[in-house]
Amino acid sequence: MSAPTTDVIAIGNAIVDVMSPCEDALIEKLGMTRGGMTLIDTDQAHALYEAMGPAREISGGSAANTLAGLAALGAKCAFIGQVADDQLGEVFAHDIRAGGISFATPARAGDPPTARCLIFVTPDGQRTMNTFLGASQFLPAAQLDEAAIADAAVLYLEGYLWDPEEPRAAMRRAIAAARGAGRKVAFTLSDAFVIARHGDDFRALIDAGEIDILFANHVELAALTGLDDFDAGLAALSPKVPTLVVTRSEQGAVAVSGGLRSEVPAEPVAKVIDTTGAGDLFAAGFLFGHVRGRSDAESLRMGAIAAAEIISHYGARPEADLQALMVQKLG
Amino acid sequence: MSAPTTDVIAIGNAIVDVMSPCEDALIEKLGMTRGGMTLIDTDQAHALYEAMGPAREISGGSAANTLAGLAALGAKCAFIGQVADDQLGEVFAHDIRAGGISFATPARAGDPPTARCLIFVTPDGQRTMNTFLGASQFLPAAQLDEAAIADAAVLYLEGYLWDPEEPRAAMRRAIAAARGAGRKVAFTLSDAFVIARHGDDFRALIDAGEIDILFANHVELAALTGLDDFDAGLAALSPKVPTLVVTRSEQGAVAVSGGLRSEVPAEPVAKVIDTTGAGDLFAAGFLFGHVRGRSDAESLRMGAIAAAEIISHYGARPEADLQALMVQKLG
């Protein structure tokens, strides 16, 4: 087995975020779940866009955001995800490549268009997401570059993409390719609704030892374990994965590796502008520390710093110089 | 002549800005003119986009930005401009309508695509613009809604759009329609390069008394009058237009109406993030004051406040509540 030349290869939704500030009343009026992620169809996408104020477009997608953070920190990354052959697809592809990330999945011709996520951001910075998956859900398993997967130290998978059938098959093949090459598999549970639909799959993968690093937030931990108590959930899940990382919003985050628990408080933020991508960038910081051989405690701190940067501005792609920020904060 | 039901109707480029921060070295390497606006073709657009870092997309276009500011201040506005029938066209149309602005120009089928402006923003906040005009230059004169123009107190025209032939013809018709209905015509000179190409047209319009409110910056004033000295330029031009408004970046702005000169200093800004749209929003603030019957001095101050808001964040569309800002600053 030769040494990997890529740090992290990820499979995720290839999405452009369409973001607009809004008052809390609009969230209620539109019947949306504050802070949640809802899948929407074409008609709903049109209706919600109609109800949305002037917006800005910034590339997103959970795993893609994580890679953008990793690449900004200096990691060598590659992304696998499906855009359509349209303008938003060009925007997504440009932004990911301009971030220094290798991206070779060919654009898909015809309908549906490139995925977009309509994000309503309330004055407290909370984001409420409505995702039109479009082309993203048609990532074909046959297209997977297994050599590229075998050549990365970590394969990172986004739970959101477990929902549609084709990408799920692709991710199963990717896991096999990574494990066959002796690489690590990292997985983020993404959202409680994914666990509600695919929790059995996730539990089976975990029980089979297919996941080396598992990312969750406290709500997802409870959903996966069926245990409302945080420590009970942690105690139940952590023996099943080599590294478990659980974020708890303003309460910081916890990692457990081989029974050893590390903890970090949330990094202070002057003003929370937009929480979109907080978990994604936490994962970026943690994974960067992890692939560079840092301790869990140090990696958690890097996650907290990257997450604090992302919630202090609009959009889920880093704006500040993350490397400089780490030097400044960590010395 | 009945009272107008719209405050300002504008004709301008329908553009989506593609904005990315960059170092000064990139501006030099790409041979761009710092702070300038350059028209680019399809090949140049591809090459520059390739060279650009991760970006964000925010609707722009000079006159459209001015209307966005006016509408945010509470004015009733309408926009005329040409998008293509594509995703960026949908983005532009959504953003302008979501800002409460009437926009009825039908999207144009086929090539070229919707206009975009590749904007490189250096660490000092200066923007260097590269505009691919696309569909925007094919605004047909035949499409003009002359009744809508006759129904607006002010017709506002963007000098940038004087360059392509079809919109120039449309704007000439619009001027005739507005004047025929006894409305005011406001014009912004936009950029020295437009004056270099069409200065004779502009001087003829001004000499014929077709322009009631003329907006320029100090560079454009010099280009139009051929006088480098600011006061000499002002003295030469101001007798020819009922109201002349000239901005001077950090030196504030001057208005001259009927021989009376008013002046305002630049509004202080904690940190200049991106100067894109500074002139556009200055015009918005001034025009809002003007149509609401404020004095030139008060209108200038409103322009300075709106301009200060726009340069304190990315993008040329207002983010803060401009009405609240005016109340706070003006009492």
- Can you count the helices (H) and strands (E) in chain B? 12, 14
Domain presence at residue B1 = no
Query: C-alpha angle with apex B170: B165 to B172, nearest 5 degrees?
Result: 95
What are A's interface residues with B at a Cβ cutoff of 8 A? 20-21, 49, 52-59, 68, 86-88, 91, 94-96, 98-99, 113, 315, 317, 319
β-sheet bridge partners, residue A154? A8, A184
Residue B243, pLDDT score = 98
Residue B1, pLDDT score = 63
Q: With bands split at pLDDT 50, 70 and 90, how would you rate the model's confidence at B2? A: confident
Which of A200, A194, A148 lies closest to A170 in space, CA to CA? A148
DSSP, collapsed to helix, strand or coil, labels residue B88 as helix
Query: ipTM of this predicted complex?
Result: 0.94
Show the beta-strand stretches assigned E in B171-242.
Answer: 184-188, 213-217
Domain count, chain B: 1
Residue type for A144, please? L
Q: How far apart are CA B67 and CA B60, in angstroms?
A: 11
Size of interface A-B (CB pairs under 8 A): 58
Residue numbers in A near B54 (CB within 8 A): 59, 68, 94-96, 98-99, 317
Min Cα separation A56/chain B (Å): 5
Min Cα separation A169/chain B (Å): 30
| Cis status of the peptide bond prior to A54, with omega within 30 of 0 | no
> What strand order describes the sheet that includes A77-80?
A102-103, A77-80, A6-11, A152-158, A184-188, A213-217, A243-247, A253-257, A260-264
Residue numbers in B near A20 (CB within 8 A): 98
Min Cα separation A87/chain B (Å): 6
Average pLDDT over residues A140-160: 94
Which of A89, A79, A80 lies closest to A113 in space, CA to CA? A89
Q: How far apart are CA B90 and CA A49, in angstroms?
A: 10
Domain presence at residue B157 = yes
Instruction: Return the CATH number at A118.
Output: 3.40.1190.20
Domain presence at residue A78 = yes
pTM beyond 0.90: the answer is yes
Tokens at B26, concatenated = 């990139």
* pLDDT digits 0-9 by tens, A215-249: 999 999 999 999 999 999 999 999 999 999 999 99
Tokens at A186, concatenated = 């990292």
Q: With bands split at pLDDT 50, 70 and 90, how would you rate the model's confidence at B151? A: very high
Domain presence at residue B229 = yes
% of chain A residues with pLDDT over 90: 97
Min Cα separation B58/chain A (Å): 5
Min Cα separation B299/chain A (Å): 25
Residue A161, pLDDT score = 94
Residue numbers in B near A88 (CB within 8 A): 87
Q: What is the mean pLDDT of chain B?
A: 96
Radius of gyration of chain B from Cα atoms? 18
Q: Which pairs from B26-29 meet CB under 8 Å and 24+ separation?
A: B26/B51, B26/B120, B27/B120, B27/B122, B27/B128
Residue of B57, B96, B114, B118 to mutate when probing chain A, most A C-beta within 10 A:
B57
DSSP, collapsed to helix, strand or coil, labels residue B26 as helix
Determine the length of chain A: 331
CA-nearest residue to A85 within chain B is: B87
Residue numbers in A near B88 (CB within 8 A): 87
In this complex, the residue of B54, B58, B87 whose CB is nearest that of residue A56 is B58
Show the beta-strand stretches assigned E in A159-242.
Answer: 184-188, 213-217
Q: How far apart are CA A326 and CA A120, in angstroms?
A: 30
Contact at CB, A59 and B58, closer than 8 angstroms: no
Given a cut of 80, is residue A134 above it in pLDDT?
yes
* pLDDT digits 0-9 by tens, B66-77: 999 999 999 999
Contact at CB, B99 and A319, closer than 8 angstroms: no
* pLDDT digits 0-9 by tens, B67-109: 999 999 999 999 999 999 999 999 999 999 999 999 999 999 9
Residue numbers in B near A86 (CB within 8 A): 86-87
In this complex, the residue of A21, A49, A98 whose CB is nearest that of residue B54 is A98
The residue segments making up the domain with residue B280 are 6-330
* pLDDT digits 0-9 by tens, B270-322: 999 999 999 999 999 999 999 999 999 999 999 999 999 999 999 999 999 99
* pLDDT digits 0-9 by tens, A286-302: 999 999 999 999 999 99
Average pLDDT over residues A61-85: 98
Q: How far apart are CA B81 and CA B14, in angstroms?
A: 5
Average pLDDT over residues A122-134: 97
Domain presence at residue B12 = yes
Residue A2, pLDDT score = 82
Residue A1, pLDDT score = 62
- Can you count the helices (H) and strands (E) in chain A? 12, 14
Tokens at A141, concatenated = 């398993």
In this complex, the residue of B49, B96, B319 whose CB is nearest that of residue A94 is B49
Could you give the C-alpha distances from B181 to B148, B149, B208, in angstroms and in order? 11, 8, 17
Q: With bands split at pLDDT 50, 70 and 90, how would you rate the model's confidence at B113? A: very high
In this complex, the residue of A54, A94, A95 whose CB is nearest that of residue B95 is A54
Average pLDDT over residues B156-170: 94
Which of B171, B173, B180, B143 lies closest to B63 in space, CA to CA? B171
**Cβ count near A46 (within 10 Å):** 13
What is the sign of the dihedral through the CA atoms of A183, A189, A194 and A198?
positive
Given a cut of 90, is residue A284 above it in pLDDT?
yes
In this complex, the residue of A57, A88, A95 whose CB is nearest that of residue B54 is A95
Domain presence at residue A24 = yes
Min Cα separation B94/chain A (Å): 7
Exposure on the CB side of residue B230, measured as CA atoms within 13 A: 14
Residue numbers in A near B87 (CB within 8 A): 86-88, 113
Q: What is the mean pLDDT of chain A?
A: 96
Domain presence at residue A1 = no
Tokens at A102, concatenated = 């290798």
With contact defined as beta carbons under 8 Å apart, do A127 and A119 qualify?
yes
Residue of A57, A101, A120 to mutate when probing chain B, most B C-beta within 10 A:
A57
DSSP, collapsed to helix, strand or coil, labels residue B43 as helix
Q: With bands split at pLDDT 50, 70 and 90, how would you rate the model's confidence at B331? A: confident
Residue numbers in A near B56 (CB within 8 A): 56-58, 315
In this complex, the residue of A53, A54, A59 whose CB is nearest that of residue B54 is A59
Min Cα separation B57/chain A (Å): 5
In this complex, the residue of A20, A91, A317 whose CB is nearest that of residue B57 is A91
Average pLDDT over residues B250-268: 97
**Cβ count near B144 (within 10 Å):** 19
Residue numbers in B near A87 (CB within 8 A): 86-88, 113
Which of A246, A253, A210 lies closest to A227 in space, CA to CA? A246
Residue type for A239, please? P
Average pLDDT over residues A256-269: 97
Give the pairing type, strands B15-21 and B6-11. unpaired
Given a cut of 80, is residue A143 above it in pLDDT?
no
